[in-house]
């Protein structure tokens, strides 16, 4: 197996607010291989975005990484100083976010913003940078690329602005692209265009992608491997086909039961997950999902379950995978007792 | 139950005149709703889908007369309310209520939950304070909140709970029609199902009629009896929900359905995404408004606007080639 491009181990991040410490990320570990698309799915407050912001050194001023390591090609991102991180961001690691309008400077033409990014990281002439910008616009299929360089962000539609952001993110051939809800603000037909573009560029340029989303459909269509996050932790991790075919954590199963099945014409009542997510100022001592879990047992509220390997490459943080746990249909009934 | 549809829109138009240029001398017309015919039957859920800017929210806001329609008729229970004066309109306004997308923005943060839910009753002059108290307690119970929630303020609640408060306000006056404008878009996936199930229960209990506006094409199939698809201010297709999903007859509907990300990695598709983007409603293409993005467009489409015509039992589409388009879909399936 190839060496991981990124290896995150026991990442912990908290925000220190007037109302107390918010434990947003509570021991997240994962590996990312070169050229892989890793999907991170979770609901608001699950810690999925904060995990990536911690890696990039882009936390708000009241947020702090309080533990763990994140080795990117051997160097720990969490110990780099601001200057080195800034050099890495936009060069080795590209980023795109949900709202391309707030990520672009409204007073500069998009061309200037692309060229500026290239010049910051590459010792080439302005003319060469401009040529590269045109190539990038063509790569992300912005029509009349050379002409569109002179446009301002407000002259673009949402979908086209996201293409500009992708062009900027790819300007220095990153090895890793972090995409945080890149299509959430877009209409469904435009979302399809942007996801198709991202997948095509990923396989053409061979970069690894971390795709953060709340949309299980987007995950199913795009990711190779999936992390399901809840309460600041990874609850389940598996290859994408596996997570949809044999979801093994009650939370993942609950999420999948909450969305209507498009292929099934019959009007089946949805099965919501009862209750609401935990307050991360006072996270539960045990499994964060226990208060909402229909299978919760006595120890679930008090003792955090370890990650059990359901199969090689498929981990699930749930006591039901303990050899002595009662059998629950779908969750652990096919495991050996 | 009478045969009169609860709502009938006849060639409804809502245009906005915008000024631009120096001193605002250039006037342009934004055709948000550009000739819509629509029936909503009693007790049904009509889903209305379309991408941003298609006019679905303007249609809803015009229907409850937040906007004055530019032209056309809006029959509510057989009575045209399009031009009706404020005084005469009041009883009809009571019978149409709205649930909004953002439960954070649509509730006054300085009012207690009790005051928020009692407000529509007070405005309508229903009951005295004591009877309103009873009614609010009853409404809280209906939407699954506790009586002791009544003294709290909106910020103390989660998004899903706030949406329940919004729903309690909307049903307080026993309306006939509830317009749900993206009611679950701002909620987490696990909470969406809670709210959708509750909306279904309320409909069965109170005999509500829903106009359900959304861009979520999976949820709209789940909740609706019929679905209308809007594009640039017009309904381009409307059909019973299964017919629409199994045999879409308008190329736009097909492209829209093909764009939905399906939560099944085995179902990944290789078909090319639809080209182009929605044109501006200030400059709507001649003939068929979808022709600039349509893979089937011919010269006819540029010159003649296709009418919304019935293909079979309750399935309407506005496309010159609807039969061909539908056949192609059936072949592929």
Q: pLDDT band at residue B275, thresholds of 50, 70 and 90?
A: confident
**Looking at residue A328, what is its pLDDT?**
83
pLDDT tens digits in sequence order for chain A, 337 residues long: 578 999 999 999 999 999 999 999 999 999 999 999 999 999 988 999 999 999 999 999 999 999 999 999 989 999 999 899 988 998 899 999 887 777 889 999 999 999 999 999 899 999 999 999 999 999 898 988 999 999 999 988 888 899 999 999 999 889 999 999 999 888 888 899 889 999 999 999 999 999 999 999 999 999 999 999 999 999 999 999 999 999 999 999 999 999 887 766 557 888 999 988 899 999 999 999 999 999 999 999 999 999 999 999 999 999 999 988 888 877 777 665 4
Q: Which residues contact B221 (CB under 8 A, 6 or more apart)?
A: A260, A262, B47, B227, B241, B244, B245
Residues across chain A: 337
**Looking at residue A334, what is its pLDDT?**
64
**Looking at residue B298, what is its pLDDT?**
95
Question: Closest approach of chain B CAs to the CA of A66, in angstroms?
Answer: 28
- List A residues 3-42 in contact with B (Cβ-Cβ < 8 A): none
Give the mutation candidate from A198, A221, A256 for the B interface (greatest B CB count, under 10 A): A221
pLDDT in tens, B146-192: 988 999 999 988 888 999 999 999 999 999 999 999 998 888 888 89
User: Would you call A294 an interface residue with chain B, using a CB distance cutoff of 8 Å?
Assistant: no
Strand order from edge to edge, sheet including A20-32: A20-32, A6-17, A63-72, A75-76
Question: Which residue in the set B51, B193, B194 is minimally distant from A189, CB to CB?
Answer: B51
Of A233-237, B119-123, B146-150, B275-279, the least confident: B275-279
Query: How far does CA B201 lie from the centroid of its chain?
Result: 19
Asked if A214 lies within 8 A of B189 by C-beta distance, the reply is yes
Residues across chain B: 333
Locate the domains of chain B by residue range. 248-333
- B268: phi > 0 → left, psi -120 to 50 → alpha, else beta; which? beta
Token pair of A149 as six digits? 């360089």
pLDDT at B140 over 60: yes
Of A246-250, B19-23, B27-31, the least confident: B19-23
> What does pLDDT average to over chain A?
91
- ipTM surpassing 0.90, yes or no? no
pLDDT at B6 over 90: yes
**Is the pLDDT higher at B103 or at A199?**
A199
Nearest CA in chain A to B157: A276
Count Cβ–Cβ pairs < 8 Å, chain A vs chain B: 125
Q: Which residues of B touch A235 (CB under 8 A)?
A: none
Give the mutation candidate from B52, B159, B189, B224 for the A interface (greatest A CB count, under 10 A): B189
**Looking at residue A27, what is its pLDDT?**
96
Residue B302 and residue B264: Cα distance in Å, rounded?
A: 38
**Looking at residue B267, what is its pLDDT?**
80
Asked if B200 lies within 8 A of A263 by C-beta distance, the reply is no
**Looking at residue B270, what is its pLDDT?**
64
Question: Closest approach of chain A CAs to the CA of B258, in angstroms?
Answer: 8
Asked if B160 lies within 8 A of A276 by C-beta distance, the reply is yes
Q: What does the pLDDT average to over B128-149?
A: 93
Interface residue ranges in chain B relative to chain A, Cβ cutoff 8 Å: 51-52, 158, 160-161, 188-194, 196-197, 200, 215, 217-219, 221-222, 242, 245-246, 255-256, 258-268, 272-274, 277-278
Rg of chain B over Cα atoms, rounded to whole angstroms, equals: 21
**Looking at residue A337, what is its pLDDT?**
42
Q: pLDDT band at residue B23, thresholds of 50, 70 and 90?
A: confident
Residue A77 and residue A70: Cα distance in Å, rounded?
A: 6
Nearest CA in chain B to A43: B188
Reported pTM: 0.90
Residue A199 and residue A202: Cα distance in Å, rounded?
A: 5
**Looking at residue A185, what is its pLDDT?**
83
Q: Which residues of B touch A276 (CB under 8 A)?
A: 158, 160-161, 191
**Looking at residue A170, what is its pLDDT?**
92
**Residue B30 near residue B233, CB atoms below 8 Å:** no
Residue B74 and residue B40: Cα distance in Å, rounded?
A: 11
Q: Which residues of B touch A191 (CB under 8 A)?
A: 259, 261
- List A residues 250-289 in contact with B (Cβ-Cβ < 8 A): 254-260, 262-263, 265, 267, 269-274, 276-277
Residue B299 and residue B321: Cα distance in Å, rounded?
A: 12
Q: What does the pLDDT average to over B283-299?
A: 94
Q: b/e map of A93-108 (b: 16 or more CB within 10 Å)?
A: bbbbbbebeebbeeee
Token pair of B215 as six digits? 């861009």
pLDDT in tens, B188-234: 888 899 999 999 999 999 999 999 999 888 899 999 999 999 999 99
Nearest CA in chain B to A184: B185
**Looking at residue B20, what is its pLDDT?**
72
Asked if A260 lies within 8 A of B219 by C-beta distance, the reply is yes
């Amino acid at each position: 197996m190839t060496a991981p491009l990124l290896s995150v181990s026991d990442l912990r991040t908290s925000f220190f607010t007037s109302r107390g410490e918010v434990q947003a990320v509570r021991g997240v570990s994962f590996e990312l291989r070169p050229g892989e698309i890793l999907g991170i799915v979770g609901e608001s407050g699950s810690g999925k975005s904060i995990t990536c912001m911690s890696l990039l050194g882009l936390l708000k001023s009241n947020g702090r990484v309080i533990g763990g390591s994140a080795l990117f090609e051997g160097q720990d991102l969490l110990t780099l100083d601001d200057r080195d991180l800034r050099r890495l961001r936009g060069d080795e690691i590209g980023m795109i976010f949900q709202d391309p309008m707030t990520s672009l400077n409204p007073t500069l033409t998009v061309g200037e913003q692309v060229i500026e990014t290239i010049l910051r990281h590459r010792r080439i002439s302005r003319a060469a940078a401009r040529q590269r910008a045109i190539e990038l616009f063509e790569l992300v299929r912005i029509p009349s690329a050379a002409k569109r360089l002179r446009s301002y962000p407000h002259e673009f539609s949402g979908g086209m602005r996201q293409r500009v952001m992708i062009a900027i993110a790819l300007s220095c051939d990153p090895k890793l692209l972090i995409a945080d809800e890149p299509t959430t603000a877009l209409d469904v037909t435009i979302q399809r265009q942007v996801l198709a573009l991202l997948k095509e560029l990923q396989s053409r340029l061979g970069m690894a992608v971390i795709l953060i989303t709340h949309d299980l459909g987007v995950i199913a269509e795009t990711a190779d491997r999936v992390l399901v996050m809840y309460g600041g932790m990874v609850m389940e991790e598996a290859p994408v086909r596996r997570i949809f075919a044999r979801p093994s954590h009650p939370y993942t199963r609950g999420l999948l039961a909450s969305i209507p099945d498009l292929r099934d014409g019959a009007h089946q009542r949805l099965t919501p997950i009862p209750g609401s997510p935990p307050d991360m100022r006072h996270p539960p001592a045990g499994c964060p999902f226990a208060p909402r879990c229909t299978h919760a047992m006595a120890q679930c509220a008090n003792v955090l379950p370890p990650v059990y390997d359901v199969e090689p490459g498929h981990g699930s943080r749930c006591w039901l995978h303990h050899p002595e746990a009662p059998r629950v249909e779908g969750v652990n009934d096919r495991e050996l007792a | 139950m009478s045969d009169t549809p609860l709502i009938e829109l006849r060639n409804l138009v809502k245009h906005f005149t915008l000024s631009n240029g120096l001193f605002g001398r250039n006037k342009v017309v934004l055709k948000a709703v550009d000739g819509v015919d629509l029936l909503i039957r009693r007790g049904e859920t009509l889903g209305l889908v379309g991408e941003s800017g298609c006019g679905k929210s303007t249609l809803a806001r015009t229907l409850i007369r937040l906007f004055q329609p530019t032209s056309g008729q809006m029959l509510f229970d057989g009575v045209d309310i399009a031009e009706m004066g404020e005084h005469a309109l009041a009883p009809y306004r009571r019978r149409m209520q709205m649930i909004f997308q953002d439960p954070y923005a649509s509730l006054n943060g300085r009012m207690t939950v009790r005051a928020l839910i009692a407000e529509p009753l007070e405005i309508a002059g229903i009951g005295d304070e004591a009877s309103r108290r009873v009614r609010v307690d009853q409404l809280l119970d209906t939407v699954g909140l506790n009586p002791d929630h009544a003294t709290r303020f909106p910020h103390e609640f989660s998004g899903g709970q706030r949406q329940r408060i919004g729903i309690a306000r909307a049903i307080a006056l026993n309306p006939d029609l509830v317009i749900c404008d993206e009611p679950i878009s701002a909620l987490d996936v696990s909470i969406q199902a809670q709210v959708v199930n509750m909306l279904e229960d309320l409909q069965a209990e109170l005999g509500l009629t829903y106009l359900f506006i959304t861009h979520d094409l999976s949820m709209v199939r789940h909740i609706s009896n019929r679905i209308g698809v809007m594009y640039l201010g017009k309904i381009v297709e409307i059909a019973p929900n299964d017919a629409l999903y199994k045999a879409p007859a308008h190329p736009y509907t097909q492209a829209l359905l093909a764009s939905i990300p399906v939560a099944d990695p085995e179902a990944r598709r290789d078909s090319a995404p639809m080209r182009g983007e929605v044109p501006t409603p200030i400059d709507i293409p001649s003939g068929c408004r979808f022709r600039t993005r349509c893979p089937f467009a011919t010269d006819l489409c540029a010159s003649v606007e296709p009418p919304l015509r019935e293909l079979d039992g309750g399935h309407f589409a506005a496309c010159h080639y609807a039969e061909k388009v539908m056949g192609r879909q059936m072949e592929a399936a």
